[in-house]
Amino acid sequence: MLDQTEADETLMLRYRDGDAGAFAILYSRHKGSLHRFCLRMCNDKARAEEVYQDTWMNLIQAAERYRVEARFTTFLFQIARNRMIDLMRRDGREAFSLDDEEGQGVADSLAASSLNQPERMLDRKQDAARILAALDQLPPAQREAFLLHEEAELPLEEIAALTNVGRETVKSRLRYALARLREALGDSQ
């Protein structure tokens, strides 16, 4: 009855009209990526799960007002990002610093540190730990751009719209993030 290949937007519309099964499909599709996004952005599992659960709850409550204006993933991760900013403000932490200079500085420092990594950490099993550690060291804006690109598979334009920056900014952040990760893996040719 429910088409598994149906677009996310269609499923969301069906859920808005009362089809609970449509939401189950949506959830199964995006629960992993959103959960990882929350984990990488919060650097705290408990906080990440709180953001993750609140994101889905907000999506459920906002379903009645849902209209197809963008990708569903953009809508979903936008909710998660806003919830994340709210939690950081509540905790007194500064929200995402989208300063390019800061990001550039962090990237530079990460790149410098990664160059000092020993070459024996280059095997595949160790690559995961190193990439995750390198990701945690990335500035939030670059990390966010990387995660939105990798997890939500959003194009640069969608990421730019979601983060309220220009497309080139997103591209620059993504470029710096990838460079630092490659450096962490010793793959910086």
Interface contacts to other proteins, rule CB under 8 A: 15, 18-20, 23-24, 27, 31-32, 35-36, 39-40, 49, 52-53, 56-57, 60-61, 63, 124, 127-132, 135, 150, 156, 168, 171, 174-175, 178-179, 181-182, 184-185, 187, 189
Cβ–Cβ < 8 Å for 180, 137: yes
Element (H, E) at 33: helix 20-42
Identify which of residues 102 and 127 has a Cβ nearer to other proteins in the complex: 127
CB neighbour list of residue 97: distance below 8 Å, 6 or more residues apart? 103, 139, 140, 141
Identify which of residues 57 and 112 has a Cβ nearer to other proteins in the complex: 57
Q: How far is the CB of 92 from other proteins (least distance, A)?
A: 26
What phi, psi does 26 have (nearest 5°)?
-60, -40
Identify which of residues 61 and 164 has a Cβ nearer to other proteins in the complex: 61
Identity of residue 179: A
Identify which of residues 84 and 179 has a Cβ nearer to other proteins in the complex: 179
Q: How far is the CB of 182 from other proteins (least distance, A)?
A: 5
Burial class (CB in 10 A: 0-12, 13-18, 19+), 178: middle
